[in-house]
Chain A
Amino acid sequence: MSTQSVKERVVVVGAGMAGSRFAAELLLNNPDRWHVTLIGEEKEVGYNRIMLSSLLAKEVARDELSLIDVDHFRSHQGEVIAHDAVQYIDANEKHVHLSSGISLPFDKLVIATGSRSSQLNIYGNDASNIIGFRDMEDVSVMESLSQGSQAVVIGGGLLGLEAAVGLVKRGHKVTVLHRSSYLLNRQLDEESAALLLERLQAMGVEFRLSVSPESFNSLSVSANEVDSTDKAHSISLSSGEVIAADLFVVATGITPEINIAKEAGLSVNRAILVNEFLETSHKDIFAIGECTEFSCNTFGLVEPIWGQMKSLLAYFENRFEPFSIEPVPTKLKVSGVHLFSVGKIQSENNEGVIQYIDRSLNHYRKLIVKEGKLVGAILYGNVADGSWYFQLIQNQTNVSGMLDRLIFGESYCIEKVA
């Protein structure tokens, strides 16, 4: 080890999926060039957040969630600071200041602060038994519920449904509240959502559709003991119904975490504005993940974020692989439920629709075709052809020669060998 002269100092703020994996790959690709510091506010660093649903559903163990090998990272002089939040960024001086008082200089800063569960802006939303479904801590709360508890999940999107199924599997009674008239209304159409609803109901989840929450109800201070004052005991709905529960899980969406970026003077809109090389408005400060906004898009699924990460890794190595947005398929991580959705879910006038439903198996397929090209696909029940449809969309393959077979899947559309 000779002149270990001047490694560039890279600080990554946020040890979620984007930050931790970026940090690890940057360092391990070229340990001689970079000095990488990964900062996380959670106790756990670099776990696969997507698998929280599986963890809740007891399908995996906690140690199976790790996304990066922290020991391996450290062995290459990677620095990990966990359970310590960044207080502020001094962009001009190129320093970050942490809650613990630590101040770190950087040559390059990567903000990967992710997002938080959106808050419900209704009365009583500060009760202690209202949680999101976002991190290990949330899972811990749910795990600690006593058997046979009542839970209400607010939001029938991907995360809400995964939370609901996980809670049901843990033996709790769960009611899902959903504002739209059908579930996953951003990923599914009514037909497929109806099949999903039926399936989840069969698993024991109860639903209230086309409702919104109006207030959380706590026992009044005057009439009760001090110890329970900060807990909500029920939720009132727009329908007039009041549902009692021990725990409320809010899964109505996510809000990008942009406070420190904003304070540092970076340009933000709904999230931190980045260009195709993930540069923010400030030189040497980059952002990736759910905290970013690129060409009017924010992000909630992992695929584009890996795309951002690759572009940024390349950029750090002086290669140019500009990031671009591509359709991303949706999957619901509930075992026994197979669901795939990519691209458009509702057709417009000039678009053709091909639909197939088998009610004996609860299989459903819908394809949307525009000008000879596939632009949307929803599969429910059997998703084996999902990746093929995804490929057709990505490659903008002309499918006009196989419109009569397209819905039946790849095996009917490849050249037939007589």
Chain B
Amino acid sequence: MQPKTGKTTCPYCGVGCGVLLTNSFTNSGKISPVSGDVEHPANFGRLCVKGSNLSDTLTSDGRLSVPKLHGNTVTWSIAIDAISEKIKQVIDEHGPDSFAFYLSGQILTEDYYVANKFAKGFIGTANVDTNSRLCMASAVVGYKRAFGSDTVPCNYEDLETCDLLIMVGSNAAWTHPVLYQRIVAAKEQRPNMKVVVIDPRRTATCDIADLHLAITPGTDAFIFSMLLVESEQNGVLDKSFIESNTDGFLNALMSAQKASPSIEATANILGVAKEDLGTLVDWWLATKKTVSFYSQGVNQSSSGVDKCNAIINCHLATGRIGHEGMGPFSITGQPNAMGGREVGGLANQLAAHMDFATPGAIDLVQRFWNAPKMATENGLKAVDMFQAMEQGKIKVIWIMSTNPMVSLPDTAQVKRALEKCEMVIVSDCQEFTDTSLMADVLLPATGWSEKDGTVTNSERRISRQRGILPPYAESKHDWWAISKVAQKMGFESSFSYSHPYEIFNEHAALSEFENHGKRDFDIGLLKDLTEESYNGLLPIQWPVTASSPNGTQRMFVDGRFFTPNQKAKFIPIEPKLPEASATEKYPFVLNTGRVRDQWHTMTRTGKSSKLANHTEEPYVDLHPKDADKLSIKDKELVRIMSKVGEIVVPAKVEAQSVSVREGEVFVPIHWTNQIANNAIVSSLVPQIVDPLSGQPESKHAIVNVTPIKSVLYGTILSAEPIDTTDFLYSCQITQDKGFRYEVAFNENLNIHHYRKTTVATFDIKQQGYWSDYKNTINGDQRFVYLVDGSPMAMFYVSTRPLNFDSSWLGSLLSNLNKTEAIVPIKLEEEDRIALSVGYKANTLDKGKIICSCFHVGEKQIQLALESGINNVTDLGTSLKCGTNCGSCIPELKQIIELSSEAVV
């Protein structure tokens, strides 16, 4: 096949960057690296480190190749028969609501549309929810309460053209890196542009902050109540806008005055200096062009909707909406959370931005779909859905492209629910995920690069994801699988799709159907695309209508909203603190979030060794004073417990760059049981949700933290994957060659027995030899297993957390279980001792890798700084670090800052 380069859209965060992918292979048999699409308006060619390494994730490792029914390989037709019969049976016996879809912001709009149509129009249940519930459900409700529609008013250019950017609950530097880079570039060009970061943690995003307010977790709404009060007191209200374009201002103002009567009172609640808060107020009052940029830190809260409306209130009151460089801007976390919202793929939506409560909507949609059995009321939101499942109310669930065993709060509950469910159907690319292990039916899904359809990014821009590579093995598109089941159930004519453009056209037609400007979401102009024009569709921002044929850059330009009277609504807000506050038994507040180079549950990013470099292991970030009180040192193992679960992870205690407040801890969300033992942070989070949005309070749980003493720490490198379930702690770190595990264990595990039984499982016929190193002074032990002069397994054990660069050792391993023939590396005899040292004598230890793109380590950077380099640009010239994706620049700056402080 002729290599062809196709334009597609990145499958990670909600920025929705354009990516160029070529179906050609490198010499080592991998897909050639991707590049950024310079013509895509989201990124103009930039890619973050995750995006840059997309091709690493396009491997067959662990891919699910065939359908499986109760663990046995079956044909698609058998799997579809089994699913459709079971759905028929349970809805006959228990009604339509015994079935549920649990979807994902990773699937495409077309997949979403077919699932939503099938459930809400043909099975008759609104039990269609999605992992988007976990990331932006509060933002949706906030917009809908204020605007009468789920409408993101802003676009990315507003971030570049604003004069004040307030980032609330967002670590965009890591979670939306390309957007963050655009902001950085804009601020460099216009140094007067101010950036305020509101976040309990000091994150990488604070790198460009002119002001960082490290607030008490969950107090965000007090800030915006205060800004509303101050706006009124200082005369920056847009009175005519309030008068003619909004309702409910006075009530909102009164609530705000009650919540945040003064800067001083507010500062006390927030736990920040009133001078700092005063600075924010001054800038807010003085800056018309203000964007409030918010994300999961606002949304994942038991009062997330209120927080959103507190923000929106301020923008409505000052008329800072609908114009360039201003507005309340919710940034979504997933590539197609927005697309899911558009089709109505949430339990409290019907379709195409219509709700069940929207007058006439059920009838309208019924007629459009010619649906035999319409759902008539809201279905169960994610957490409710799994609770109902545990109660036996949901008998069949179809989970697509998401991993609720890792991402939903209270993992133990999710497990109980799935165990109770009669048929768990899981469509996924990977065979082994924490959730697929619970499945009765496993369906191999096409993945990014194979899937074909559309996604919508955070600025309402619809872009094509294109199928550039052929589907892997027997994997199928999700819309195809759903359609087949629907057909089998007797709905042939309504699900006779043969290409995603047909689905897209129907979706577009529904958005326009009897709309007449009543609904914000209208892409009617795209309802008659040919396959060719669909394939060539350029990125475009909805609405796309006759009056805006090239899409719509910014919403509410005319000051009219989608409420019945076309006026925006102020919502009176009584700020609430998170449900749980620290107690004697659970004295710490747990915060959760992403790390820079991993995505969700690592089913894709986990395949890239480069992406493993930045943060190799799960961790709990502790304030040095708390760590001191608990006698916990950096990298030592700790146990974290809440009322609902416990995890065991290494501590991160960084005296020089403290990122969490005292009494607070942070644990990243990515590590699953497939990669680590006992590191799923969701297992600590109780199922507390926002009553309006159903979004869990995943960024706030109360926990206790205890050190785990008397353990041994180990690094294991192996040519074959090994079983580490017996370790107290274990984490697999992806390598180019072989397998690496960081482990910890206590006296219950006999490492000598373990290492010997482990290598006995290797598929090697020749006799192997051990080399052993033991040091009674520091407790170090190292065991290397050699076959024919090549290392097959290396066990490094220490009484202290290990901290060494094992990349050289890893490079010596051969991949026994990979198909590519890698010639084992034979070491010179004099170098064999190096296997027990970890490096060859007189070689450079790079230190912790900072720049993943060019594999530049901290020690190299330190040397460069010692040689006189003192800025990021020169570091880039000298070492290339930070010159590709730029994601490491905040860290480079921090290193420069720390080293210059050291000199002073």
Contacts and interface: CB of A to CB of B under 8 A. Distances in A.
A350 to B, nearest CB: 11
A360 B773 contact: no
Contacts of A358: 769, 771, 784, 786, 832-833, 836
Contacts of A363: 771, 832-833
Nearest to A366: B774
Contact of B780 (A357, A359, A404, A411): A404
Contacts of B829: 361
A361 B771 CA distance: 9
Given A358-B771, A405-B837, A418 B777 contact: no
Contact of B776 (A354, A357, A409, A412): A354
Contacts of B832: 358, 360-361, 363
A398 B230 CA distance: 67
A359 B767 CA distance: 12
A418 B771 contact: no
A217 B146 CA distance: 113
B772 interface: yes
B778 interface: yes
Given A352-B775, A352-B776, A354-B775, A408 B844 contact: no
Contacts of A382: 830, 833
A353 B789 CA distance: 27
Contact of A404 (B778, B830, B834): B778
A418 B847 CA distance: 11
B761 interface: no
B833 A418 contact: no
A197 to B, nearest CB: 18
A339 interface: no
B841 interface: yes
Contacts of B754: none
Interface in A355-374: 355-361, 363, 369
Nearest to A406: B775
A416 interface: yes
A356 B863 contact: no
B859 interface: yes
Given A360-B771, A360-B786, A416-B842, A403 B833 contact: no
Nearest to A409: B833
Interface in B755-796: 769-778, 780, 784, 786, 789
Given A360-B789, A412-B837, A416-B842, A355 B780 contact: no
A407 interface: yes
Contact of B842 (A352, A354, A407, A417): A417
A352 B833 CA distance: 21
A416 B833 CA distance: 17
Contacts of B771: 356-360, 363
Contacts of A417: 842
A369 B769 contact: no
Interface string A318-355: 00000000000000000000000000000100001111
A270 to B, nearest CB: 36
Interface residues of B, number: 27
A360 B769 contact: yes
A199 B859 CA distance: 44
A359 to B, nearest CB: 4
Nearest to B773: A356
Contacts of A354: 773-777
A408 B772 CA distance: 12
A418 B773 contact: no
A72 to B, nearest CB: 42
Nearest to A411: B841
B716 to A, nearest CB: 19
Contact of B769 (A353, A359, A407): A359
Contacts of A360: 769, 771, 786, 789, 832
Contacts of A408: 833-834, 836-837, 841
A353 B776 contact: yes
Given A358-B832, A361-B832, A411 B774 contact: no
B837 A418 contact: no
Interface string B245-285: 00000000000000000000000000000000000000000
Interface in A372-418: 382, 403-405, 407-409, 411-412, 416-418
A373 to B, nearest CB: 12
Contacts of A407: 773, 775
B455 to A, nearest CB: 46
A409 B833 CA distance: 9
Contacts of A353: 774-777
B781 to A, nearest CB: 10
B795 to A, nearest CB: 14
A358 B784 CA distance: 9
Contacts of A416: 842, 845
A369 B770 CA distance: 25
Contacts of B775: 352-355, 403-404, 407
A382 B829 CA distance: 10
Contacts of B772: 355-357
Nearest to A403: B777
A360 B784 CA distance: 10
A1 B780 CA distance: 72
Given A361-B832, A404-B780, A418-B863, A355 B769 contact: no
A353 B859 CA distance: 31
A259 to B, nearest CB: 48
Contact of B844 (A355, A356, A359, A418): A418
A206 to B, nearest CB: 25
Nearest to A356: B773
A412 B778 CA distance: 17
Contacts of B842: 411, 416-417
Contacts of B777: 352-354, 369, 403
Contact of A403 (B774, B778, B786, B836): B778
Interface string B30-64: 00000000000000000000000000000000000
Nearest to A400: B777
A382 B780 CA distance: 22
A411 B830 CA distance: 12
Among B770, B776, B777, B836, which residue has the most Cβ atoms of chain A within 10 A? Answer: B777
Interface in A217-249: none
Nearest to B843: A416
A418 B805 CA distance: 15
A403 B773 CA distance: 13
Nearest to B768: A360
Contacts of A369: 777
B17 to A, nearest CB: 37
B774 A355 contact: yes
A409 B836 CA distance: 12
A133 B651 CA distance: 65
B835 to A, nearest CB: 8
B841 A412 contact: yes
Contacts of B845: 416, 418
A232 to B, nearest CB: 43
B783 to A, nearest CB: 10
Among A352, A354, A417, which residue has the most Cβ atoms of chain B within 10 A? Answer: A354
B836 A418 contact: no
Contacts of A356: 771-774, 833, 836
A355 B780 CA distance: 10
Nearest to B804: A404
Contacts of B836: 356, 358, 408
A352 to B, nearest CB: 3
Given A354-B774, A358-B832, A418-B844, 5 more contacts: A358-B771, A358-B786, A407-B775, A408-B841, A411-B842
Interface of B: 769-778, 780, 784, 786, 789, 829-830, 832-834, 836-837, 841-842, 844-845, 859, 863
15 contacts: A352-B776, A352-B777, A353-B774, A353-B776, A354-B773, A354-B776, A355-B772, A358-B784, A382-B833, A403-B778, A404-B775, A404-B780, A405-B837, A411-B842, A412-B837
Closest 5 CB pairs of A and B: A352-B777, A360-B769, A411-B841, A358-B771, A359-B769
